[in-house]
Structure 1
Amino acid sequence: MSALPSSSLLSAAAAAAGGQTYPGATLYVVATPIGNLADFSLRAIHVLALADAVACEDTRVSGGLMRHLGLDKPLIALHEHNEHSASDKVLGRLAAGERVAYVSDAGTPAISDPGAVLVARARAAGYRVMPLPGASSVVTALSAAGDAGQHDQPGQGAGFVFLGFLPAKGQDRAQALQAALQQPLSTVLFEAPHRIEALVAELAEHAPARLITLCRELTKQFEQIHTLPAAEAPAWLAADAQRLRGEFAVVLHAQPKVEADTDGLPAAVERQLVILMRELPLKQAVALAAELSGSPRNALYQRALALRAQSEPD
């Protein structure tokens, strides 16, 4: 994108996207690149060029983007701390018939970033909301994990769960993490670099066999994507200090498919259960086998009872 002068870029955007109607009194929700500026769509650029004002999460970040595009528009700061009051300013411009674009710092607004309050208020006030799709770290991470459509368990369709950032600490974090691990579908989390070691340590402790995909610096020069069992993640991070830098999207792969045999459990899971029963009380063995394999606890418990009965002398 940077190879074109801004005037040529805006002309190309107009040629590609100018055939569509872009009405006034409309809020345009515009996805921006998550790292690589070349991922910005020509349609998004054209809408920013048409906008009478741009509401944004951070005027410094969006101001730099606008300068890169050769655009000079009024910027309205609208972030998590002032979204209600700043929405009033946007609604005032919409009432005057203006086109207003909203952008977050990176990616698609109103998902994990601010914007949902603004969108809801604009719709409630009767204004049109026009979304412009584009970059999303959630979808980008899922596409690289190759897991979101691979769900074959009974009653479970393809799909995923997006949880964003977990609470930073305490009981709220522990409960949120347990809820994430209980999800049968692929689950996407965000994590900051100063907490990624703690997150993978928790995943290794509570779900060592669960496959995870660690996505770091998506779309940027030093992008890194690695899939491995959670038990191996702490050592992988520790092997290179560079792996701790940048924002992370973490995909918890879907719970493994349970293929029933004559006893209702895969042979590998039953072997695991037998080994655990040698070392632990039955209930603890069942609980750990369920956590490691993702198999239903009730089925494991019933099989454990049957195995114990078989091993007892007549």
Structure 2
Amino acid sequence: MEETRLYLVPTPIGNLADITYRAVEVLKSVDKILAEDTRTSGVLLKHYGINTPTESFHAFNEHKRTEGIIERLQSGERLALITDAGTPGISDPGFMLARAAAEADIKVECLPGATAFVPALVKSGLPSDKFVFEGFLPHKKGRQTRLKILSEETRTIVFYESPHRLMKTLEQFVEFIGPERSVSVSRELTKKFEETVTGPLPEVIDHFKNHTVKGEFVVILEGRND
């Protein structure tokens, strides 16, 4: 049976206890760990006594480094890829390397584990049988066009958003999609100050106007009702 050369390993999105036994075993057993930020990942690795060497692999060097890493995998090295939080490739580095490995017939395994949008979607109370993952909206070019297209989407829509863009995004939902939609906003999932606010868009906007907007956000927007 062909040996796995590349492991894509989810890491906790907040609470360090949210890692699987298998993930810890894999991270201990590989030759090296490719990490989005070695300092951030160092906290997790130290917590679990994982002494495997790490090296940097992030969005700014992914293009340049992928070919060399594929050559290392082909020569027999066993590597694990982790990001700062969550599953590699989901709004994080990983897609290019996974694609290149598949094209090179290198066996890849992705372990199941933490992804921020899943708990936010499931507890939102909005339909989760069919949904579309949108990730981060474009910051400038194409943003309004994308919102107009999404206004026709009937499935529940999942977004990631940063704290300094949250209010702009919610207000643009009202402008381009309509104030009648329900929305669920979760922040700091699995952490001490975890919070989820659900309701009609205007009510949720009022809430965040009167509260400090901190943390990483998952926004779940109701789809169009035909």
Do both proteins adopt the same fold according to a TM-score greater than 0.5, normalized to the shorter chain?
yes
Say whether residues 1:161 and 2:132 are aligned partners.
yes
Higher relative contact order (CA 8 A, sep 6+): 2
Higher helix share: 1
Q: For residues 221 and 185 of structure 1, what CA distance do their matches in structure 2 show?
A: 31
Q: CA deviation at 1:74?
A: 2.2
- Tell me what 2:216 maps to: 247
**Residue aligned with 1:213, SS:** strand
Q: How does 1:81-96 map to 2 (within 5 A)?
A: 81-96=60-75
Q: Match of 1:216? A: 187
How many Å apart are 1:98 and its aligned residue?
2.4
Secondary structure of the corresponding residue to residue 154 of structure 2: coil
Letter in 2 for 1:230: L
Alignment of 1:42 onto 2:21: yes
Instruction: Give the Cα–Cα distance (whole angstroms) in 1 for the partners of residues 71 and 145 of structure 2.
Output: 41
Matches within 5 A, 1:1-314: 24=3, 26-149=5-128, 158-169=129-140, 171-206=141-176, 207-241=178-212, 244-256=213-225, 295=226
List alignment gaps of at least 5 residues for structure 1.
1-20, 150-157, 257-294, 296-314
SS in structure 2 opposite 1:37?
Answer: coil
In the aligned structure 1, how far is the partner of 2:66 from the partner of 2:100?
Answer: 8
Deviation at 1:190, TM superposition (A): 0.9
Displacement of 1:25 in angstroms is 5.2
Q: How many residues align?
A: 225
1:98 alignment partner AA: E
Q: Percent identity?
A: 40
1:257-308 deviations in Å (ceiling 9; x for gaps): xxxxxxxxxxxxxxxxxxxxxxxxxxxxxxxxxxxxxx4xxxxxxxxxxxxx
Q: How far off its partner does 1:24 sit?
A: 4.4
